[in-house]
Amino acid sequence: MDYINKFTSFVREQYCSEDFIPLHEPRFRGNEKAYLLDTIDSTFVSSVGAYVDDFECKMESYTGATKAVAVVNGTAALQVALRLVGVSKGDEVITQALSFIATANAISYNNAIPVFLDVDLDTMGLSPDAVRKFLESYAELRDDGCYNKSTGNRISACVPMHTFGFPVHLDELITICNKWKIPVVEDAAESLGSYYKGRHTGTIGQAGCFSFNGNKTITCGGGGALVTNDLNLGTKAKYLTTTAKRPHPYEFFHDELGYNYRMPNLNAALACAQMEMLESFLADKRQLATEYIDFFKSIDVTFRTELNDTKANYWLMCIEMNDRQERDYFLKETNEKGIMTRPIWTLTYKLPMYQHCYRDEQVNAEFLEQRIVNIPSSVR
């Protein structure tokens, strides 16, 4: 694997640095400091402030969603979205095991049970064919929804995750789920700036959820957003995430169990400034991806690229090694040389708290877990 030294030199040239190269670090090159100081001067630094409203409007405008609700993180957005589409205690929710832990956790926070189905090799996201096979084998429609014949539990949602910003095959997946009356909630945490057949990810299912953690394409430290084209659902999301408080000038009355998931104005100020930089960030990352493609042309390693009819944001760029041994060697050598690389996540059903959950054969997920490596993807 003599290409590792070439790869190390190539990455250092891209970032013009001999220091440690992180996987994905934020860039603050716009109005971040000015907006933060403005929130401090206004004294509205907590959960009420103009920047929260502005950020929600910016998300609606950028994604094309009817309603956006800013929250503290992407996991909170997903938890609330699942509750809003009808997920309740004891239900089953179809999702993928090849994902960050937050996807399954958000299901569990609703006291529901994840069902882990395989991914497609080309998208690394939930496979419509795997979902179809599972439903044809185990599901039945009743008057009040779809049920698992073997467990008796209601199957109340399906959560595909757009892995590293690569959109899943949404048309096929939604067609299957509609047949079985299962709402689709997109885990779009990693895919701000990604499009499927001209539509922004997160806006195609019944709801979509984004993350603005420190390692995302844009960040506000923490932060997340729920988007939807269902105005009633979006209005309820705003209500639930602001402690289910009924509007009143000064009295406090809460008429159902809500969540204190409001995004603080400080974070929203940072998010607004980052949104102003988003297009330039995406352009830089797309150019970096083009240069990675050219670099890996002469190497027996596959650089992952977007599919036809999609536009990926190239949030975390990744390569596919030939086997687990090559993957482990590459990870060891690059990290020792000060170039941060990392493997894809451990499959969720291998973690102690999810080992009891149903899973199919996971042929593709196992294949990818042994081979996929993330490489430095920061805006330069």
In this structure, the answer to whether residues 111 and 183 fall within a common structural domain is: yes
**pLDDT at 2 (0 to 100):** 85
134-190: per-residue pLDDT in tens? Answer: 999 999 999 999 999 999 999 999 999 999 999 999 999 999 999 999 999 999 999
CATH code of 353's domain:
3.40.640.10
Together in a domain, 122 and 58:
yes
- Looking at the fold, whether 37 and 153 belong to one and the same domain comes out as yes
Residues 6+ apart with CB under 8 A from 36: 266, 269, 270
| Model confidence band, residue 65 (pLDDT cutoffs 50, 70, 90) | very high
For residue range 73-94, what is the model confidence (pLDDT) as tens digits?
A: 999 999 999 999 999 999 999 9
Judged against a pLDDT cut of 80, whether residue 1 lies above it is answered with no
243, exposed or middle or buried, with CB in 10 Å at 0-12, 13-18, 19+?
middle
Q: Is 228 helix (H, G, I), strand (E, B) or coil?
A: strand
List, as one string, the DSSP characters of 83-99: HHTT--TT-EEEEESSS
Contact 119, 265 (CB under 8 A): no
pLDDT over threshold 90, residue 243: yes
The whole-angstrom separation of Cα 92 and Cα 100 is: 19
Residues 94, 118 within the same domain: yes
In a domain, 370, yes or no: no
Q: Are strands 67-71 and 92-96 parallel, antiparallel or unpaired?
A: unpaired
Q: Of 151, 146, 102, 96, whose CA–CA distance to 126 is shortest?
A: 96
Give the model's confidence band at 3: pLDDT under 50 very low, under 70 low, under 90 confident, else very high: very high
- Domain assignment present for 146: yes
Q: Which residue has the tokens 């589409």?
A: 85
The arithmetic mean of pLDDT across residues 16-42, rounded, is: 98
* pLDDT value for 24: 98
The pLDDT of residue 48 is above 90: no
pLDDT exceeds 80 at position 341: yes
How far is 98 from 156, CA to CA, in rounded Å? 20
State how far the Cα of 367 lies from the Cα of 113, in Å rounded to an integer: 25
For residue 372, is it within any domain? no
Please, where are the H alpha helices in the chain? 3-15, 32-42, 50-63, 74-84, 101-109, 128-138, 170-179, 231-241, 265-296, 324-336, 363-369
pLDDT, tens only, 132-144: 999 999 999 999 9
Query: What pLDDT, on the 0 to 100 scale, is given for residue 179?
Result: 98
Q: Same structural domain for residues 350 and 338?
A: no
Are residue 92 and residue 190 in the same domain, yes or no? Answer: yes
Task: Tell whether 369 is covered by a domain.
Answer: no
Query: Do 41 and 87 share a domain, yes or no?
Result: yes
* Domain that residue 356 falls in: 32-275+346-364
Question: Does one domain contain both 61 and 169?
Answer: yes
Tokens of 134: 């599972």
| Number of domains within the chain | 2
The overall average pLDDT reported for the chain is 97
CA distance 158 to 146: 12
The answer to whether residue 378 sits within a structural domain is no
pLDDT at res. 155: 98
Q: Is residue 371 part of a domain?
A: no
Question: Which of helix, strand or coil describes residue 297?
Answer: coil
pLDDT at residue 47, as a whole number? 85
Mark whether 58 and 111 lie in a shared domain.
yes
Q: Are the C-beta atoms of 123 and 163 separated by less than 8 Å? A: yes
Please state, in angstroms and rounded to a whole number, the distance separating the CA atoms of residues 314 and 163.
10
Residue 335: per-residue pLDDT: 98
